[in-house]
A and B are shown apart, each in its own frame.
Chain A
Amino acid sequence: EDQVTQSPEALRLQEGESSSLNCSYTVSGLRGLFWYRQDPGKGPEFLFTLYSAGEEKEKERLKATLTKKESFLHITAPKPEDSATYLCAVREGAGNMLTFGGGTRLMVKP
């Protein structure tokens, strides 16, 4: 059974304090690892897709990396507006079903 585990569950940072969020997964035949951002009361907003180990994607202060067993979302010099829940998800096998982790709730204090 696919399993996706995110850590930590919650993370408090000061503005400018860089850190990383972890997403560990166990799937057979990964067909994409996805990162989403979710603000309170909103649906998840797509950030990145990674397909193979060694791949990296960047967007503003965010960089996502992928190994064979985990993905990291690095946040460089975060700002309060980066506060949100970050979700990772994997797609395995045929079809378009995503299996999500429980999310990391990030709080950035000014």
Chain B
Amino acid sequence: ETGVTQSPTHLTKTRGQQVTLRCSSQSGHNTVSWYQQALGQGPQFIFQYYREEENGRGNFPPRFSGLQFPNYSSELNVNALELDDSALYLCASSTGTAMRNSPLHFGNGTRLTVT
């Protein structure tokens, strides 16, 4: 069974630039979520995709956007990068949208540094 994989593992961008992060879901999982984890803090929910549509969003501005593809892989796009966007971006996959026995399984994240 292949777990959740994310690319790239590390990335450095300049303020104002745009970035795309990628995620491949665990085999058999059809729901993908993205979280932002600042250093020393717990992850914060950005949004979730199910059947290629966004079906939940946290308190993040519209410059954070995403896509889910038919093979359940996903992208997170961030426009107009700000210094505070520097964080570990985690992708998590699961089965269903509100299933009792469906914990999130996380990838190892992409460490984004904005200078």
Residues of A at the B interface (CB closer than 8 Å) are: 4, 6, 31-32, 34, 36, 41-46, 49, 51, 87, 89, 94-103
Determine whether the beta carbon of B44 is less than 8 Å from that of A100.
Answer: yes
Residue numbers in B under 8 Å from A46 (CB-CB): 103-106
A-B contact pairs, 11 of them (CB 8 A): A44-B43, A49-B101, A87-B42, A89-B42, A89-B43, A95-B55, A96-B33, A96-B97, A96-B104, A97-B48, A97-B58
B94 at the interface (CB under 8 A from A): yes
CB distance from B110 to the nearest CB of A (A): 10
Residue numbers in A under 8 Å from B96 (CB-CB): 96
Q: Contacts A43-B4, A49-B103, A102-B42; is A96 near B108 (CB within 8 Å)?
A: no
Residue numbers in B under 8 Å from A32 (CB-CB): 100
Determine whether the beta carbon of B45 is less than 8 Å from that of A97.
Answer: yes
Determine whether the beta carbon of A98 is less than 8 Å from that of B104.
Answer: yes
Determine whether the beta carbon of A95 is less than 8 Å from that of B56.
Answer: yes
Instruction: List the A residue with the shortest CB-CB distance to B108.
Output: A43
The 9 closest A-B pairs by CB, nearest first: A100-B42, A43-B106, A95-B56, A43-B108, A46-B103, A97-B45, A44-B106, A102-B42, A100-B43
Residue numbers in B under 8 Å from A41 (CB-CB): 108
